[in-house]
A and B are shown apart, each in its own frame.
Chain A
Amino acid sequence: GQNIDQPTEMTATEGAIVQINCTYQTSGFNGLFWYQQHAGEAPTFLSYNVLDGLEEKGRFSSFLSRSKGYSYLLLKELQMKDSASYLCAVMDSNYQLIWGAGTKLIIKP
């Protein structure tokens, strides 16, 4: 079966760095996405990785290792507005997105 695992909840301090991990087992691989979702809102796109390595975009970076079925989202200089759920999703061989349950990130002052 297809499976995406990520921690349920994480807590971090404003100004700090946090890393959210995601492991996956899917039928084929056409890329891994990270989305941010604030409560009561639809997900918004953060990053896409299809090759191994680190993709940096401002305060957010995403890493992928296809051989290990592993990715992480790194958030630097945390701000209170970063409090949200972070969803890891893998596009399988049928170009369907397989979603993780999401990681709720709580930022404390």
Chain B
Amino acid sequence: DQQVKQNSPSLSVQEGRISILNCDYTNSMFDYFLWYKKYPAEGPTFLISISSIKDKNEDGRFTVFLNKSAKHLSLHIVPSQPGDSAVYFCAASGVLLQGAQKLVFGQGTRLTINP
């Protein structure tokens, strides 16, 4: 039962254009969402997050949009740069025992930026 889904395993975009990565979730109890970026042989690094009380959060070239009614979020990168080539994971956040954080990850989307 995949609670968080990234239906595009890969995406190829030309340098300078917009990259749009999509993520769907099924559990309406999630109220915080995160995007992580991962390079080969490294751990995931935090990119941007959004609370369910917002529909948009922007940080430089990165913007995350949340559509709660559709249970859908997207990450926009503009303009795309070669260094953005990586695997991107979306994650939905909940709570475990004693305030520990439960992160449920999607399968990841491999983004390739072509010069």
Is B a genuine binding partner of A?
no
